[in-house]
Amino acid sequence: MPAINRNPTSFLGEEYKALVDQELDWRLRILQGPSSTRCIVDGKKVLMLCSNNYLSLSTHPKLIDAAIRSIKTHGVGSGSVRPIAGNMDLHIELERRLAKFKHAESSLVYTSGFTANSGLIPQLVGKEDLIVSDELNHGSIIDGVRLSTAERAIYKHRDVTDLGRVLNEAEKHAPAYRRILVITDGVFSMDGDIAPLDGIVKEAERHGAMVYVDDAHGEAVLGEGGRGIVSHFHLDHKRVHVEMGTFSKAFGVIGGHISGSKDLVNFAYNKSRTWLLTASHPPPVAAACIAAIDVLENEPQHVKTLWDNTNYFKKGLVGLGFNTGNSQTPITPVIIGENATAKKFSQRLYELGVFALPIIFPMVPKGTARIRTIMNSALTKNDLNDALAAFEKVGKELSVL
């Protein structure tokens, strides 16, 4: 009989120590105050270059005012899940406004993008079905796929031809699949490249497959007035069946959402347990999200300035001799190479007053460790020039340039 383990949680410390020894642990810095372009991190004033707050809406006066007013009228919490007693008029208004903004029949708000993916994907497909996924899809998609009982297939990153190969093979499956779901990120968060959604849709239509796009990093960035990747490719929700997004990045607040047909939303809120069993957004969150849509509809300069800054900064990095990979968006990786060098690079940037974190293996392939920078519409040309000067200095110090 095996000996009884007197400390059944010993693995926790052991596995954490192994991460520390391999320098694979997250060492959290503390943001002291709002997420803004010039902020305080661990007591040091720095230029923020790694926030997802693309349009600086988290500190926009209209969002702050809407949140404060909603607390006075609705309190600080919803009190329940939406199917029971937590379905407030603010939630209904947010979904109405979001659907109108996205040119969709209907929208549904989740507490996060992660809960949208993990709660909806397993309900769309099951054991008689197939999911076809881009090989570099985000972890929340991967977890949603794993929670499903459907079979899985992978196609090469952004490769429509390879997607076609996978779908052709799927047609030969016996018995025939009941449903096929093709799923992709819209903007890939490690490289900043964009899924060829128009080609993906055409290939899916040839095989009668559903299309699901996670547009977390395209929301309020791509498309007409920031309407996202479906707008960017001049598609609609009859062809892209699920457009998932988030309020926690360019919208400046928090939460996930889906947009599509009324049938999709009715199905989702009756079947998706992450929606059914999670308390709804507090009133100030819902109100701030509505205000963010107002800003996007009435202040187009934020999206324009974001892209102006993106193009200026990319051009500056490339001009200095840095490798920025295949980025097509405000996510611009600066490819360094080895993990240790990327970590040193990030630390030296911080010492020079620039906050930009390293992304290392296993989050990216070995030899492609990078500093991932994310642009912000509130950055000035002086801010960008200061950042470029810091990158140049550290690049030369560490023989990256």
- State yes or no: is 249 an active-site residue: yes
Mean pLDDT of the chain: 96
Q: Where are the alpha helices (DSSP H) in 255-370?
A: 262-271, 273-276, 283-298, 301-320, 339-351
For the entire predicted model, the pTM comes to 0.95
Helix (H) or strand (E) holding 123: helix 113-124
What is the per-residue pLDDT for 356? 97
Residues 6+ apart with CB under 8 A from 349: 355, 356, 371, 390, 391, 394
What is the per-residue pLDDT for 88? 98
Choosing from 189, 231, 248, 327, the catalytic residue is: 189
- Band of pLDDT at residue 45, cut at 50, 70 and 90: very high
Choosing from 102, 217, 232, 343, the catalytic residue is: 217
Which residue from 8, 252, 248, 278 is spatially nearest to 120, judged by alpha carbons? 278
pLDDT in tens, 277-294: 999 999 999 999 999 999
**According to CATH, where is 3.40.640.10 located in the chain?**
61-298
pLDDT in tens, 147-196: 999 999 999 999 999 999 999 999 999 999 999 999 999 999 999 999 99
Return the CATH fold of 23-52+300-397: Aspartate Aminotransferase, domain 1 (3.90.1150)
- Per CATH, is 61-298 categorized as 3.40.640.10? yes
Choosing from 102, 249, 281, 343, the catalytic residue is: 249
d(CA 95, CA 109): 7
As given in the structure block, the two tokens for residue 5 are 């383990």
**According to CATH, where is 3.90.1150.10 located in the chain?**
23-52+300-397
What is the per-residue pLDDT for 393? 98
pLDDT in tens, 199-210: 999 999 999 999
Residues 6+ apart with CB under 8 A from 194: 186, 187, 188, 218, 222, 229, 232, 328, 329
- State yes or no: is 217 an active-site residue: yes
As given in the structure block, the two tokens for residue 309 are 């800054």
What is the per-residue pLDDT for 23? 78
Q: In what order do the strands lie in the sheet with 106-110?
A: 106-110, 256-260, 242-246, 210-214, 180-185, 130-134, 151-155
As given in the structure block, the two tokens for residue 119 are 């709660």
- State yes or no: is 103 an active-site residue: no
